[in-house]
Amino acid sequence: MAHYDVIVLGAGAAGMMAAIEAGKRGRTVMLVDHATHVGDKIRISGGGRCNFTNINATTDKGRDRFLSENPRFALSALSRYTPENFIALVQRYGIAFHEKTLGQLFCDGPATQINTMLLSELRQANVVLSLGTIIESVSRDVEGFAVELSNASITSDSLIVATGGKSIPKMGATGLGYQLATQFGLRLTETRPALVPLTFETGALEKLKNLSGIAADAIVSHGKTSFEEALLFTHRGLSGPAILQISSYWREGDSISVDLLPHEDAGEAIRALRKATPKVQVQTVLGALLPKKLAQLLGEELDLPGMVGDFSDKKLAEVESILKSWTLKPVGSEGYRTAEVTLGGVDTRDLDAKTLGARNVPGLFFVGEVVDVTGWLGGYNFQWAWASGWAAGQAA
């Protein structure tokens, strides 16, 4: 039976980083995955260009951009392995990249460059890769961990669980990490799909469907949290970065509010149009401010016939209100089928923030998305995967 110092389960972003770092310290490492390639999510991420980090992840602002029952938990790993560390690695491999917006760094070329880079690092760290391998069982005794694989039985001193969350089962996501956490006595926080499009009941959807394909810059809010980014109408409901971001905060039964004119004083704009063009139809006035079909839908919602010159100040205030805080009540989300990440996971109370090691099970570590740490859209989740993987790789 082969023995390794470290076995890493899951060859995604976090698992590869953990294996590389443990290997670089001279530990013998086996990295196991049931997929036939490493880093499937890296390959499809960022629209195929991999938004591999966000330069704000460790700034003061960035600290609020990780959701968890203990938002401070992530700070230790994030401050020791920073976006600059990953950028230096990317630069060492000559991978060209650019900042798209809001600190988000994307490859200029295909995302597969990141996987090629990590595979090269794995080779240099002498990590043994076992892909296309089913993990049948994991157990622990005084000697360490025993892992039954479809093609071998292996043992190790340390075990790093990096099997990700539940998002996109079609790409190989399973609940294995959560099962192992429970098996070893760690608590779980509630898990739910996050960074996911929101859906609507049939009546509302019928109306929204006509807008399918329209994008608008908007501020989308839930309580005190708001995001100014693109909003996209789809035939299933609402999507786009602003909606994906707010989906991590939204809960069933809640409404969201949309400011369709984030940079304009809507009341002022309509008053000016009322004065300048009093004989123009209201729909036309709204159409001057918004995409035509959206203007038409809002006009119908407000029952706005006639010319803008005939508008009372009261009616005008109603129009202003729908433009600045259009209230929408989603009924659900598209779920794990399309969610970019899973909110919740292994309870951070049972993990050491510095090493990601289980407090009560020596040698056991959980890294990446399986842990109850979820970043905003925009490179924050990969940065957490690199940083948490790195931290466990120093300790395993």
Indicate which single residue of 176, 214, 261, 316 sits in contact with ligand FDA (rule: CB under 6 A).
176
Using rule CB under 6 A, residue 14 touches ligand FDA = yes
Indicate which single residue of 56, 113, 158, 167 sits in contact with ligand FDA (rule: CB under 6 A).
167
User: 57 to each of 102, 107, 238, 298, 299, how far by Cα in Å?
Assistant: 11, 18, 27, 38, 41
The least distance separating ligand FDA from the CB of residue 300, rounded to whole angstroms, comes to 35
Indicate which single residue of 168, 322, 387, 396 sits in contact with ligand FDA (rule: CB under 6 A).
168
Indicate which single residue of 19, 20, 30, 50 sits in contact with ligand FDA (rule: CB under 6 A).
50
Among the listed residues 143, 135, 132, the one whose alpha carbon sits nearest the alpha carbon of residue 175: 135
Cβ-based nearer residue to ligand FDA, 50 or 286 = 50
- On whether the CB atoms of residues 11 and 129 are closer than 8 A, the answer is yes
Q: Candidates 159-167, 269-277, 320-328, 349-357 — which segment interacts with ligand FDA by CB under 6 A?
A: 159-167
Indicate which single residue of 6, 11, 77, 304 sits in contact with ligand FDA (rule: CB under 6 A).
11
Query: Cα separation of 79 and 58, whole Å?
Result: 6
Helix or strand (DSSP H, E) at 138: strand 135-141
Cβ-based nearer residue to ligand FDA, 118 or 289 = 118
Using rule CB under 6 A, residue 196 touches ligand FDA = no
The least distance separating ligand FDA from the CB of residue 325, rounded to whole angstroms, comes to 30
Residue type, 247: S
Using rule CB under 6 A, residue 193 touches ligand FDA = no
User: 168 to each of 44, 174, 198, how far by Cα in Å?
Assistant: 12, 9, 16
Sign of CA dihedral 166, 224, 232, 318: positive
Using rule CB under 6 A, residue 341 touches ligand FDA = yes
- In residues, how long is the chain? 396
395: which residues sit within 8 A by CB, 6+ positions away?
Answer: 354, 355, 356, 357, 365
Which residues contact ligand FDA by CB under 6 A?
10-15, 33-35, 40-41, 44-46, 50-51, 135, 162-164, 167-168, 172-174, 176, 340-341, 368-369, 379-382, 385
